[in-house]
Structure 1
C-alpha cells in the first residue's frame, strides 16, 4: 500500500506449529513503498509472496531464533540465491546475536560454509538498537523469553506499532510500548505458571501491558492451542479498556 500510512498484514500467528490454515508467526509491516518482513515463522514465506517478492523487501526483522519465528529464513535463503529471485544486494536482516551462524549451521552441507552473507546483510540486535529502513524507524528492546529475544517499535507517518515477539511481561516491553498507537502482543500462555520462569504472556497479561503502556489499541496474536481467539480477546478485554482485535491470518490493520 502506498498511501503513506502504517500498515500491518498478518501472514500467520499459530503457536507453536502451523495449523492447516494458519502459518506460524510472521507479519508484513509497510508504509509507502517500504516493506519489512517481521518474523519468519514456519509457513509465512508463502503468504508473504501475495504482497511482496523477496527481492522487493527492504528488510527482515527477527525477534528470536525459535523455529516458529525464524524457520522460513532457511527457505528464503534458497529462494534468493538459487531460484528466480535476483537481488541487487543482500537483504538487510536484523536479528538476535548469532543468527548468521545459526542459519549457516542448518544450511551448510559441505566443508565450505554456506554463503549466508550473500543472501542476508546481517545486523545483530542489542537492547536499544535503532535503525532506519526507508520510511520506517525501528527501535528494538531486549525482552524476557529465556533466550535472546527482542520486541520492536516501528514508527512511520507519525504512527507507531509495537510488536512483543515472545516474552513474559517485562518493563522493557511496557516502556517500548508507551503511548503507541497499536500493540501487537503474543498470548501463548493459558495461565501464568505457579513456579518457574515465565516466558509468555497470558491474554490477561496482554491487557495489562497495553493498559500500563497507554496503547491506543491491542491486537492479540500467537494465541496458544488451548484457547480460541475469541476467548483470548475476551480475556484481554477484561484488563484493557481500548479496542482489542485478534491477528487473524490475512488480516490487514491500518495503524492510527
Structure 2
C-alpha cells in the first residue's frame, strides 16, 4: 500500500445477527499509520484483533446504535479497562447523540454509573461533523434510518471511501458520496423496499446511489439473509455500470 492509498478491511457484514464465520457490520480503515474501527457490530471485536489491538486504535466511529452496528462496544469497554490493555488515553469515539449514556446504562450494575469515559473519549456526531484522525479526514452526514444515524466519508491524499451505514436512499448520502473512489453501501433485501417508510437500501438502491453519486466502485454489504451475495451484486450491477463487489468477511480493499 502506497502513501497515496488506504485500505478497508471487512471485519463482518452480516445482519441482523452474526453468521458462522461472518460477524455483523464492522470495518477497519487503515492508512499511513492511522487505524479507525468503523462500526462495532456483534462479533467484530474478535476479528479486529487479527489486525490491531484496542490500544493501537486511533479512533472508533459508530453509525447508529442498533446492536448489529454497535454491540461490541460493550465488550471493548471491558477489554480497554479490565484486561491486558493499558490505555495511554481513552480511545476517541465518534457516535450518535447520547451514545455515552446508552453504553453506561447497559454497563452499570450498581449505584455508581459505569465510567465509560475512562475507556472512550466520546464526541457526538452531527450533520456535517468533521474530524481529523491522523492521516484521515472523517466527515459525517445524517441519513434516513428512523433513528439518529450517520454515513461517513473518509479522505486521505485525494482518495475517498464513503460508508452508508444503514439508511434509506437519501440526498445526504448521494451528496456525501459524490465522485468517491469507493462506496461501501448496504444492500438489504426486497422487504426494505416494501416497508411503508423504508429505512434501508436494497441492492438496486445501492446501484442507483452509486450511479447518481458517480462513484468509481461499489461494494455491497449488510446483505439480507433472503439474498445471496451473488444475487445482491447482480441486482446492484443492473443499476450501476462500474465495478461491484461484495464485502466478504476478511476481504481487504484498497482505496485509490
String of CA shifts for 1:148-173, please: whole Å, max 9, x gaps.
Answer: 00000000121000000000000000
Kindly state the Cα deviation for residue 94 of structure 1 after the two structures are TM-superposed: 0.1
CA distance in 1 between counterparts of 2:238 and 2:114 reads 49
What does residue 101 of structure 1 align with? 101
String of CA shifts for 1:227-256, please: whole Å, max 9, x gaps.
Answer: 000000000000000000000000000012
CA distance in 2 between counterparts of 1:95 and 1:195 reads 26
Q: After the TM superposition, which parts of structure 1 deviate over 6 Å for at least 4 consecutive aligned residues? A: none
Q: TM-score, normalised by structure 1?
A: 0.98
What is the alpha-carbon root mean square deviation over aligned residues? 1.0
What does residue 250 of structure 1 align with? 250
CA distance in 1 between counterparts of 2:32 and 2:51 reads 13
Q: Contact conserved, 1:12 with 1:24, CA < 8 A, in 2? A: yes
What does residue 150 of structure 2 align with? 150
Any unmatched runs of 5+ in structure 1? none
Kindly state the Cα deviation for residue 62 of structure 1 after the two structures are TM-superposed: 0.1
Q: TM-score, normalised by structure 2?
A: 0.98
The number of residue pairs the alignment matches comes to 256
The 5 A counterparts of 1:105-144 are 105-144=105-144
What does residue 164 of structure 2 align with? 164
What does residue 179 of structure 2 align with? 179
Q: Contact conserved, 1:6 with 1:157, CA < 8 A, in 2? A: no
CA distance in 2 between counterparts of 1:2 and 1:194 reads 44
SS at match of 1:210: helix
CA distance in 2 between counterparts of 1:194 and 1:44 reads 30
String of CA shifts for 1:32-65, please: whole Å, max 9, x gaps.
Answer: 1000000000000001000000000000000000
What does residue 203 of structure 2 align with? 203
String of CA shifts for 1:172-200, please: whole Å, max 9, x gaps.
Answer: 00000000000000011324544511000
SS at match of 1:167: coil
